[in-house]
Amino acid sequence: MLANADAKATVGVLANPASGRDIRRLVAQASVFPTAEKANMVQRICGALGTLGIARVLMSTDLGGISAAVLRATRNRRASQSPWPDLEFCELDRFTETAEDTVTQVRRMIDAGARVIICLGGDGTARAVASACGDVPLLPLSTGTNNAFPQLREATVAGLAAGLVAAGVIDPATATQQTSVLEVRAGDRVELALVDVCVSTATHIGSRALWDPAALTELYCTFAEPDGIGLSSVPGQLCPSPRTEPTGVVLRLCAPEVARHVVHAPIAPGLVLPVGVRSWRPLRPGEELPVSADHGVVAVDGEREIELRRGEPATVRLRADGPRCVDVTRVLGIAAREGWLRDSQQHQ
Amino acid sequence: MTETLSTPAAGELNAEGLLDAYRTMRTIRVFEERVHDEFATGEIPGFVHLYAGEEASATGVCSHLDARDSIASTHRGHGHCIAKGVDPVEMMAEIYGKRTGSCHGKGGSMHIADLSKGMLGANGIVGGGPPLICGTALAAKQQNNGGVGVAFFGDGASNQGTTLESLNLASVWNLPAIFVAENNGYAEATASTWSVAADNIADRAAGFGMPGVIVDGFDFFAVHEAAGEAISRAREGGGPTLIEVKFTRYFGHFEGDQQAYRADEVANARDKLDCLKRFRARVTESGQLESSALDTVDSEVAALIESAVTEAKAAPKPTGVDLETDVYVSY
């Protein structure tokens, strides 16, 4: 369909089987995103990419049933359906059923020539993919819980945008937006966050999610949007910081009774709770701050990841070299201007 | 002497609670490893199915329960019994088929029960526990005493009609019931990836209108937190929850199982994921407990299990007269 498309264009598709299953289905009313729908999304992406003439899709494999459902779909496709790209499954030698599987598969996709990575999952999935995709454009689609970073967007449309970028008809610098990341260091442990880093008085990682604002003491955000979900919605309603800006924001939190500001924030799906804020200020790119707490847990993108050890200080640094994310709206706007998805015919 | 170096956050255990949890997990582990050794001598009659590796599940859930609450177990029930407070000495005697056992030696490993502790029984029927729990949960609801019923079952039982009907009934009647799917990856020798049509057992909860969550079964704190939320919710009238706990069992389906159906996952789990190792590392690194306190528990548990085996071997067997007792129940 695209006259000047690269005939060898390849797109990687990473679908996380574990996203959308954590305790927030119990403590909040977080959505349940079934495996079958994740597989359907992959099929819709493949349909869009096939229509554009994209040559190849590298699909992740998993033990959760997504890749199996997509494989079954390839065998059951009817001749009348639009062609898909060649579909190759990215095999793993051994599944760990952790984020390590995601990282390994993304690296293999990029080594095999993927020019765009589409990932299906929540903030945690996007974080794992971002740690491995380097400069290759990322298009994160929401199938998780908080979904402050990935977009809740129709997969077909996302597939079209990803295909246009992979085909090389649009300059990646124009099609993508470089995001910021927060780097957390505690001893030899390093974690990256795409949206927020939060310190909790909880002692253990436990079931990972955060839903009790009384336990939160410090919050660092790469961006804060007024219509955000998750912890970044607190500064989103107090001191918004657009994701298009390199500056972030840092807040000191406290009990609402003694707080200077109390924000009623949607910190998780179904949970709009009062969060006390003692103070806040902008966080500059490159700025590194020490974590004040000497015990507790550090959560990245809403998931507890690091249990702080006594005598081992932790720091948070805002970096400007986050993943380059495909701007779907911008790409398809350019496509409309340039007529890439139009056939012009002379009618008599 | 233990010391608490930081005040526990809401919902977290204090030093005493942590030590209790460790003692329970350690007791289950040592009990099961000893039964494994003793079964090989040929002295223990019948079949035994061991719970080693899965301790965080029973302990994490049952540490929230009290005398109002009841649990139903599976053929792999020793861990649930110990976590609900059944006496390990009586349990060992029961496994040896002795008169001093929990059921006077007439139940054996797969039928250990102690109603005085709210332990409705290990159960040889796969999927037998969930309907029982619907009954006790209904009773608790009628009595309005805040009690809950907890059904432990495996990935194999998750496919049984009894389990699915119980999930439906619990939801329809909004029962204070917790369904804990202990997914160790295999129903006997059949991988759950082959036999469970839903890719996660927890996914089935949505079809019954209840929350379904997946928890790392090697992590006591993850299980404890999720179970605490589910049980609080049930006590407050919020209805049932399905919790899928994923882990690996360390021994075969039954003692004597050659385990040709699985590869090296046990060694990896024992080495890198083990719930007891992780618990010890976390509570000592966080300063919540001293290693010496945990070492003391280890010694006490070792002595307890040694004593249990000695007493079980020395205890009398049931006689012919015993066949005529405990046959009928008067209401």
CA B74 to chain centre: 8
The values of phi and psi at residue B239, to 5°, are: 95, -175
Domain definitions of chain A by residue range: 10-179+323-338, 181-319
Does residue B4 fall inside a structural domain? Answer: no
What pLDDT sits at residue B6?
47
Number of domains chain B contains: 1
The domain defined by A181-319 folds into Tumour Suppressor Smad4 (2.60.200)
DSSP secondary structure of B40-102: TTT-S-S-----TT-HHHHHHHHTT--TT-EEE--SS-HHHHHHTT--HHHHHHHHTT-TTST
Q: Tokens representing B114?
A: 């102690």
CATH architecture of A10-179+323-338: 3-Layer(aba) Sandwich (3.40)
The alpha-carbon gap from A274 to the nearest alpha carbon of chain B, in Å, equals 17
How many residues comprise chain A?
348
Alpha carbon distance A220, A289 (integer Å): 10
How does pLDDT run across A152-161, given as a tens digit for each residue? 899 999 999 9
How does pLDDT run across B138-188, given as a tens digit for each residue? 999 999 999 999 999 999 999 999 999 999 999 999 999 999 999 999 999
How does pLDDT run across A30-76, given as a tens digit for each residue? 878 888 889 999 999 999 999 999 999 999 999 888 999 999 998 88
Contact: A309, B285; criterion CB under 8 Å: yes
Check pLDDT > 90 for residue A18: no
Query: Do A177 and A327 form a contact (C-beta atoms < 8 A)?
Result: yes
Q: Tokens representing A27?
A: 């403590």
Neighbours of A266 (CB within 10 A): 20
How does pLDDT run across B311-322, given as a tens digit for each residue? 999 999 999 999
Does residue B300 fall inside a structural domain? Answer: yes
Question: Which of B6, B200, B288 is closest, CB to CB, to A21?
Answer: B200
DSSP, collapsed to helix, strand or coil, labels residue A66 as helix
Query: Do A224 and A249 form a contact (C-beta atoms < 8 A)?
Result: yes
Alpha carbon distance A90, A108 (integer Å): 7
| pLDDT, average across residues B21-42 | 97
Mutate to test the interface with A, among B4, B262, B286, B290 (most CBs of A within 10 A): B286
Contact: A23, B224; criterion CB under 8 Å: no
What pLDDT sits at residue B120?
97
The values of phi and psi at residue B272, to 5°, are: -110, -20
Contact: A22, B214; criterion CB under 8 Å: yes
Q: Tell me the Cα Rg of chain B.
A: 19
Contact: A22, B213; criterion CB under 8 Å: yes
Contacts of A76 (CB under 8 A, 6+ apart): none
Contact: B287, A310; criterion CB under 8 Å: yes
How large is the ipTM? 0.74
Scan residues 190-229 of A and list those with Cβ closer than 8 Å to B.
Answer: 200-208, 212, 214-215
With an 8 Å Cβ cutoff, is A255 touching chain B?
no
Does residue B204 fall inside a structural domain? Answer: yes
CATH code, B250? 3.40.50.970
Range of the domain at B276: 15-315
Sign of CA dihedral B215, B217, B222, B228: positive
Alpha carbon distance B163, B152 (integer Å): 10
| pLDDT, average across residues A204-233 | 92
Same fold, A10-179+323-338 and A181-319: no
Q: Tokens representing B50?
A: 């061991």
Question: Which of B10, B200, B230 is closest, CB to CB, to A26?
Answer: B230
Chain B hits for A295, Cβ within 8 Å = 5-6, 286-287
With an 8 Å Cβ cutoff, is A189 touching chain B?
no
Residue A213: which of A235, A192, A234 has the closest Cα? A234
**pTM for the complete prediction?**
0.85
Query: Do B162 and B130 form a contact (C-beta atoms < 8 A)?
Result: yes
Query: Do B191 and B261 form a contact (C-beta atoms < 8 A)?
Result: yes
Contacts of A1 (CB under 8 A, 6+ apart): A51, A52, A53, A341
Mutate to test the interface with B, among A207, A210, A303, A308 (most CBs of B within 10 A): A207
Check pLDDT > 70 for residue A98: yes
> pLDDT over 90 for what percent of chain A?
70
